[in-house]
Amino acid sequence: MDDNLLATPATRPTFSPRQIAAFYFKPCLGEEGEATGYYACKTCAKRRKHAPKSGYSNLVSHVRTAHPNYESDMRDASVAATGTLLPWVTQKASNRYAWLRWVVTGNLPLSFCESKETRQYTKLNPMSVETLTATMEAVTKAVEKKLGASMPEHFGLILVGWTHKTEHYMAVYGCFETASGPQYPLLSLAPVMDEPDDHLSADGHLTAIKRFLPFFGKSISGCLFLVVDNCTVNKRLANLLGVPLIGCASHRLNLAVRDYLEPHDNILEKVQQLMRKLRTLKQAAKLR
């Protein structure tokens, strides 16, 4: 009896059978994406049968036999610096990510995921348009939150305009310094005229910028400078913000060339006078 009292109590398993099975196994799907009742080991591709609500002893026994160091492998994976471990991602999250990446990178319509032909020729589990849209919104909010946390309170903005048919878009990039170097993340790419009373003026551009900055937890007062084309609207926008305007690359190149040629102003003036004379018909006739 005393021996029983002094015996070392049984240690509690580090990982549950469900965690072990989820880490090492993935479901085997049929040609039409239906469940086959079999699971494949992610390490050695060994297939084991598993029925829902029947426990995980069949799967765990394989892991303990074929992969005796499974606990250390799982422990090392659980403390990875990235915190985004593929073996720990659920099948549901993996399926949603696959649909999201397919639709976005392929520039496909949202209804693509509900197409009969699409579901016939893919092994991904079905997804509705509503679920896909909700997933996109959730990912967008997560990215905005992470990006906002990395942005300092004071930053610069780089503006690039683009017109397609009758719609004018404005791309806005952040510009700030971090420990790893300068960063230029895309903050917004949207039409300037989003509301009925919006205009393509400096005030309209300012309204568009004020509209999206709160998504990143920032305000327009944190903007220290603008990098944008040197045009009337952008000059007015910089004046409204009370910040300096830094010309775009083409404008800066023009200024650099002007400074480079400044010592040769006399020669350039003579060349310009000659070109004006050569434009006349009489002077051009002499060269024929």
pLDDT tens digits for range 48-76:
988 888 888 889 999 999 988 888 777 76
Domains identified in the chain, total number: 4
Give the phi and the psi of residue 166 in degrees, each rounded to 5. Answer: -105, 5
Q: Computed from CA positions of residues 261, 267, 270, 276, in that sequence, does the dihedral angle turn out positive or negative? A: negative
> What integer pLDDT is reported at residue 151 of this predicted model?
92
> What integer pLDDT is reported at residue 205 of this predicted model?
86
Q: Computed from CA positions of residues 266, 267, 268, 273, in that sequence, does the dihedral angle turn out positive or negative? A: positive
For residues 225-234, average pLDDT: 86
Exposed/middle/buried for residue 84 (C-beta within 10 Å: 0-12, 13-18, 19+): exposed
Between 227 and 80, name the one with better pLDDT.
227
Q: Contacts for 144-150 with beta carbons within 8 Å, 24 or more apart?
A: 144/215, 144/216, 147/174, 147/185, 147/187, 147/216, 148/215, 148/216, 148/217, 148/218, 149/217, 150/178, 150/183
What confidence tier does 110 reach under pLDDT thresholds 50, 70, 90? Answer: very high
Identify any residues that bridge with 228 across adjacent strands, giving them in sequence order. Answer: 247
Tell me what the pLDDT averaged over the chain comes to. Answer: 82
**How many CB atoms are located within 10 Å of the residue 166 CB?**
6
Share of the chain above pLDDT 90, in %: 28
What confidence tier does 185 reach under pLDDT thresholds 50, 70, 90? Answer: very high
Lowest-pLDDT choice from 33-42, 139-148, 232-241, 276-285 = 276-285
pLDDT at 8 > cutoff 60: no
**How many CB atoms are located within 10 Å of the residue 238 CB?**
19
One domain for residues 164 and 188: yes
Last residue of a domain, one of 99, 121, 150: 150
SS (H, E, C) 102-119: HHHHCCCCHHHHHCHHHH
Last residue of a domain, one of 107, 125, 150: 150
Output the CA–CA distances (angstroms, integers) from residue 283 to 272, 275, 276, 277, in the order listed: 15, 10, 10, 6
Nearest partner of 212 among 191, 240, 238, 182, judged by Cα: 191
One domain for residues 6 and 74: yes
One domain for residues 157 and 243: yes
One domain for residues 167 and 242: yes
One domain for residues 122 and 66: no
Angstrom distance (rounded) from CA 223 to CA 226 = 8
pLDDT at 237 > cutoff 50: yes
Last residue of a domain, one of 39, 54, 89: 89
**Which residues neighbour 133 within 8 Å (Cβ) at sequence distance 6 or greater?**
110
Instruction: Name residue, tokens 């589990």.
Output: 125
Q: Can you give the residue range of the structural domain that contains 273?
A: 251-286
DSSP letter, residue 223: E
Indicate the residue type of 83: G
pLDDT at 80 > cutoff 60: no
What confidence tier does 85 reach under pLDDT thresholds 50, 70, 90? Answer: very low
For residues 195-204, average pLDDT: 76
> What integer pLDDT is reported at residue 200 of this predicted model?
77
Between 285 and 165, name the one with better pLDDT.
165
For residues 145-150, average pLDDT: 91
Helix, coil or strand: residue 111: helix
One domain for residues 129 and 168: no
> What integer pLDDT is reported at residue 87 of this predicted model?
52
Q: Which CATH number characterizes residue 213's domain?
A: 3.30.420.40
pLDDT in tens, 21-36: 888 888 888 777 778 8
